[in-house]
Amino acid sequence: MATVRNWQLGRDMEYPYEEHHPARQFAFVFNTNRCIGCQTCTMACKSTWSLSRGQEFMWWNNVETKPYGGYPHNWDLKTLALVEEANPGGQRWSENGEDQKKFEGQTIFEAAGKVAGQGQERVLGYLPTDDEWRYPNIYEDTAKGPKGRRDAIDGEGATLPEHKTWFFYLQRICNHCSYPACVAACPRNAIYKRPEDGIVLIDQKRCRGYRKCVEACPYKKPMYRSTTRTSEKCIGCYPRVEGKDPLSGGQPMETRCMSACVGKIRMQGLVDIDANTGDWKEDQESPLYHLVKNEKIALPLYPQFGTEPNGYYIPPRWVPRPYLHQMFGPGVDAAIDNYVRPSRKTMAILQLFRVTQQIIFKYKIEEGPKIFETEVNGETLEIFDDTVIGFDEDGNEITRVTVEEPFHIREGIYANSI
Ligand code: SF4
Ligand code: SF4
Ligand code: SF4
Ligand code: F3S
């Protein structure tokens, strides 16, 4: 095993291959607070990439209702149980410096070979059963109620910050990880990470269907296809990212699942990576950099698994914190505080979600007048009607929106015009 730097863990870790980083990395932010569970993203992906024979049970994008839902069922609970079995009581985060946390436990690479019966040498994982793949939206809209019940509502009611009866939607695609478990596990070297954008792909000509990638990926995003006897996965809609879609005029375009999102919860980007450290290069004009690095309101999903996933989530603000700490790591409280009382910049950037199909590389704010003031958690929140402008890769303006949405009144002449 080589030693590599994982900035999400605040430490070095073991990985089967030496450190190599792409020039740019496919990354995205999902705002769980806004998702309406409509599955438009799911169908946008399905209808584009996985409608053929043998792909019937394949959902590269899925949206599951937490805490009970999961595709495949219990994917996260099973991997959490495995690493706990490998390192009982040791899967903890600790303080490391002023605001940086360090993961003291073992990743799926470090815990490999430590659980009897889980034979992989390089990655600790498991192969889901056919039955676990069968119900992609199991327990949709099922809330967690009083202890031990999933069909009841807590009669007392509750107010924020935490509800006693709760669920939330978790949107999931391949994380195009910096240290992919699928790449680490494949004995055929059939999976690769593209140097130009960090998208992780399975070479269909090399794959022989060993399914070690399915077993190793903690997010269970490679899926086996019986008709071709190979595995397939989310391809990051790479032709669109490359600017090949005729609609984009050659400019990098967001993926199908991102651009179809009705709830406007998704923002995608290509972030510049430091070749030496693997960390994001500082870029104060990038909206993703601001959300993930400056304000830290968007957090990786199960960073403790160690793959350094490149999907980031704004956590749901009404969910009990211990559950969120386990899922998104120790930054949850600060992330929710920064989201419910957003800074002026964050408020402006949140307006950029889903306003154009092109990838927004840079943003700029033109300040407007103060339009509202209130109190959140005992502190003042001021809202300004700023204008936020998005730019493409070449610096051309591609979108311009205001914090306060314009109000349009239809003239009477158009009433009853159907
Ligand atoms: Fe591989 Fe899974 Fe990471 Fe995707 S999410 S890159 S399939 S390890
Ligand atoms: Fe599907 Fe493209 Fe979204 Fe991947 S990025 S889940 S391939 S729509
Ligand atoms: Fe949620 Fe957007 Fe998908 Fe609808 S399209 S389920 S709002 S992520
Ligand atoms: Fe490798 Fe997965 Fe194919 S382990 S051989 S890419 S099924």
Q: What is the pLDDT of residues 197-234, one digit of tens each?
A: 999 999 999 999 999 999 999 999 999 999 999 999 99
Q: Are 93 and 101 in contact (CB under 8 A)?
A: yes
The single-letter code of the amino acid at 362 is: K
β-pair partners for 363: 390
Ligand 1 within 6 A of 287 CB?
no
Q: Is the dihedral of CA 254, 255, 260, 266 positive or negative?
A: negative
Task: Determine the distance separating the centroid of ligand 1 and the alpha carbon of 134, expressed in angstroms.
Answer: 20
Ligand 1 within 6 A of 182 CB?
yes
User: Which token pair is 15?
Assistant: 């990985």
CA 191, distance to chain mean position in Å, is 21
**Ligand index nearest the alpha carbon of residue 64:** 3
Task: Determine the distance separating the centroid of ligand 2 and the alpha carbon of 173, expressed in angstroms.
Answer: 7
CA 297, distance to chain mean position in Å, is 13
| Pairing verdict, β 24-31 and 62-66 | unpaired
What is the pLDDT, as a whole number, of residue 129?
97
State which of 61, 233, 266 you would mutate to test the pocket of ligand 2, scoring each by most atoms of that ligand within 8 A of its C-beta.
61
Ligand 1 within 6 A of 176 CB?
yes
The domains located in the chain, with CATH, are 15-345 (3.30.70.20), 346-402 (no CATH)
Best CA proximity match to 286, nearest among 341, 364, 175, 399? 364
Other CB atoms within 10 Å distance of the CB of residue 294 = 15
Which helix (H) or strand (E) segment is 47 a member of? helix 40-49
Ligand 3 within 6 A of 311 CB?
no
- Cβ neighbours of residue 409 under 8 Å, at least 6 residues apart? none
- Cβ neighbours of residue 306 under 8 Å, at least 6 residues apart? 6, 9, 13, 15, 107, 108, 109, 110, 179
| Pairing verdict, β 311-314 and 24-31 | parallel
β-pair partners for 30: 266, 313
Ligand 3 within 6 A of 261 CB?
yes
State which of 36, 65, 268 you would mutate to test the pocket of ligand 3, scoring each by most atoms of that ligand within 8 A of its C-beta.
36
Rounded-to-integer distance, Cα 194 and Cα 23, Å: 9
Best CA proximity match to 2, nearest among 24, 19, 26, 23? 19
**Ligand 3 atom, smallest distance to 264 CA:** 2
- Cβ neighbours of residue 177 under 8 Å, at least 6 residues apart? 200, 307, 308, 309, 310
| Cα–Cα separations (whole angstroms), residue 327 to 8, 101, 197, 237, 258 | 13, 15, 26, 26, 22
Rounded-to-integer distance, Cα 92 and Cα 107, Å: 11
**Ligand index nearest the alpha carbon of residue 65:** 3
Ligand 3 within 6 A of 63 CB?
yes
- Cβ neighbours of residue 66 under 8 Å, at least 6 residues apart? 167, 168, 169, 170, 327
Q: Whose CA is nearest to atom 1 of ligand 3?
A: 35
* Ranges of H-type helices in 67-180: 75-86, 130-133
Task: Determine the distance separating the centroid of ligand 2 and the alpha carbon of 42, expressed in angstroms.
Answer: 9
Q: Which residues line ligand 4 (CB under 6 A)?
A: 185-186, 188, 190-191, 202, 207-213, 222, 230-231
The single-letter code of the amino acid at 14 is: E
Task: Determine the distance separating the centroid of ligand 3 and the alpha carbon of 263, expressed in angstroms.
Answer: 6
Other CB atoms within 10 Å distance of the CB of residue 11 = 14
Best CA proximity match to 69, nearest among 172, 174, 146, 148? 172
| Cα–Cα separations (whole angstroms), residue 344 to 39, 191, 398 | 31, 42, 21
Instruction: Write out residues in the chain with pLDDT < 70, as ranges.
Output: 96-100, 119, 148, 417-418
Best CA proximity match to 178, nearest among 201, 198, 195, 192? 198
Best CA proximity match to 237, nearest among 381, 61, 356? 61
> Residue 292 gets which letter from DSSP?
I
Q: Supply the angle between the helices 321-328 and 332-340 in degrees, to the nearest 10.
A: 110
Rounded-to-integer distance, Cα 325 and Cα 309, Å: 16
Task: Determine the distance separating the centroid of ligand 1 and the alpha carbon of 192, expressed in angstroms.
Answer: 11
What is the pLDDT, as a whole number, of residue 326?
97
